[in-house]
Structure 1
Amino acid sequence: MGLGETKSSPGYGNPPWIFKGSALYQLHLVKAETVRAFIPKELRLVEAFGYTLGGFFLANYDDSPAGVFDELVVIAGIVWNPPTSCAWAARVLVNSEEACHHGRKEVGLPSQVARFSKRITPVPRQTKDKFGGFLNMIGVGTTICHSKDCMDVQVTEVVGPASSDICNIKLLTDVPTPKFNKWMGPSITMSLPSFSGQTEYNANLLKYSCRLACRCFRYFLSHVSLLLL
């Protein structure tokens, strides 16, 4: 099995390409029989008890070779590449024509243009002190309010005049003020090996690696509706 190499494009220049922004990375168990249609036949799916590990990667880039844009990557599953394994993306949605073209031609991704709709609303949360029950009974109770943000993200794929809803995500996160910096996690650096290619835009089977350097914030994922097929 021969592996192709990624090329350079005028807008992006030569790799490595650097993207800066924020992202949500969520893993899920997915039925192996569902994702096999998205995996090349010569690649063996990593599975156990009929399931593989899929998920999604939702990112907002404020600095990239294509400028500011949003991206949703739907990970179908994990395939073997001894002695390790690689992720396989079934869908890649971006709201940038340049990023879409680069993903198709140079990285072998099944990129499509989409609309990303975001709505952020504050959600107050009240926490009573340990004497709150009794004090409230006599009318002098106190509460401590902790502000949270609720983010609703809707992703709609656009194909010509038609469009279809692909993903809806609702999540809660602490407001990123200095008061809540204690909830930031440690610095993390990781490498995410992936396969791509064998599409109408790039027939080669490509292997590449995304190197992530990040700080973690505390998120509460309350709802996910994701369309794979």
Structure 2
Amino acid sequence: MEAGRTLCSTGYGKPPWTFKGSALYQLHLVKAETARAFIPKELRLVEAFGYTLGGFFLANYEDSPAGAFDELVVIAGIVWNPPTSCAWAARVFVNSDEACDHGRKYVGLPSQVARFTKRITTVRGQPNRKSCSFLNMLGLGTTTKCFPKDFMDLQVREIKSHAATDICNIKLPAIGPAPKHDKNLGLAVKMSLPSFSGLSEYIPNLLKYSCHIDCRVRAVEPAKVSGPSFATEEDTGKSLQHLHAHKSANSTTKELIDNERNLSISVMLSKPLIALEFNCLKMRVEAPIVVANCSKSSLKVS
């Protein structure tokens, strides 16, 4: 496959592909050692003091080429690709077979089908408090009111061969539809989020694609993430050791897949830094471009 060539999906129609809905983009401090387990060694990880920026992107799409569906993108870390940096996804969970197939075969993403179980609970509000003045200066500040507030408890379980595996539980404020002109939804912004993908069993080449986002964004309290009981620091260390051993032997065993899943859970459980709520989201995804004519075992990037 030639470098510079774009990949197009017949099921999704011609790119760019448009997705509409709402999302939460949460940045975490992820241990560089954990992030490197997912990122090709030839790519330079952006890190400082043993950590990189990872986290997750949780979206609820009301309209897309695959219809309405939920998506959880676990971001392992950030890699440097002059003149900018790009995110690398450790795992992508979707509750749509079509979206999963598209992600694997046309975007080179590590997509998995998952079950998203949602439950709304009401929690009594806390006394009024304002967010930090820096966020207020940017127009991203929020104020907590003293009245009951609805929260959503979201359970994500990976589905494979009719078996369900717990990934995580996420507790976050329930987001309802609201008019785009509502200033309480935050600043109207446009941004582009470049990402790398590929080097998978479906697409052996390195790909690069961009998500162009038009939305209203505001800072919110980070969502609380909990995981399975096995996702301890000791288990993370064991998973790293096993993963390196299996990769060195070019193994694709079930144990390798399980270790990658466990490490993606550890990314979700890492320390949150900031959470951004995207309302009135319109995301345009460009067709991926092959940036290196290489395989997973022979990647060379300048």
Taking structure 1 as the reference length, what is the TM-score of the superposition? 0.84
Q: Which runs of 5+ in 1 are unaligned?
A: 129-143
1:78 to 1:218, Cα distance in 2 relative to 1, 3 A: closer
Q: Give CA-to-partner distance per residue, 1:149-197, whole Å, 9 cap, x none.
A: 111111101111322111211123587779xx45221101111010000
Give the equivalent residue in structure 2 for 1:123.
123
Aligned length: 211
Output the amino acid matched with 2:105. Answer: K
Q: Which runs of 5+ in 2 are unaligned?
A: 129-144, 228-261, 266-302
* Mapped pair 1:93 → 2:90: no
Give the equivalent residue in structure 1 for 2:214.
213
* Mapped pair 1:20 → 2:20: yes
Output the amino acid matched with 1:22. Answer: S
- The answer to whether the 8 Å contact 1:3/1:206 transfers is no
**Could you tell me how far apart the structure 2 residues matched to 1:211 and 1:73 are?**
16
Matches within 5 A, 1:68-83: 68-83=68-83
Q: CA deviation at 1:10?
A: 2.2
- Of residues 144-153 and 113-122 in structure 1, the stretch that sits farther from structure 2 once superposed is 144-153
Give the equivalent residue in structure 1 for 2:102.
102
**Could you tell me how far apart the structure 1 residues matched to 2:17 and 2:207 are?**
16
**Could you tell me how far apart the structure 2 residues matched to 1:103 and 1:159 are?**
16
**Could you tell me how far apart the structure 2 residues matched to 1:66 and 1:121 are?**
29
1:121 to 1:195, Cα distance in 2 relative to 1, 3 A: same
Which structure would you say has the larger Rg? 1
Q: CA deviation at 1:200?
A: 0.3
Give the equivalent residue in structure 1 for 2:196.
195
- The answer to whether the 8 Å contact 2:93/2:111 transfers is yes
**Could you tell me how far apart the structure 1 residues matched to 2:54 and 2:152 are?**
23
CA RMSD of aligned residues (A): 2.3
* Mapped pair 1:47 → 2:47: yes
Give the equivalent residue in structure 2 for 1:138.
none
Q: CA deviation at 1:88?
A: 0.2
Larger RCO (alpha carbons 8 Å, 6+ apart): 2
Taking structure 2 as the reference length, what is the TM-score of the superposition? 0.65
1:89 to 1:4, Cα distance in 2 relative to 1, 3 A: farther
**Could you tell me how far apart the structure 2 residues matched to 1:42 and 1:151 are?**
40
**Could you tell me how far apart the structure 2 residues matched to 1:4 and 1:165 are?**
38
Q: CA deviation at 1:4?
A: 5.7
Greater helix content: 2
Greater strand content: 1
Q: CA deviation at 1:225?
A: 2.5
Q: CA deviation at 1:204?
A: 1.2
* Mapped pair 1:166 → 2:185: no
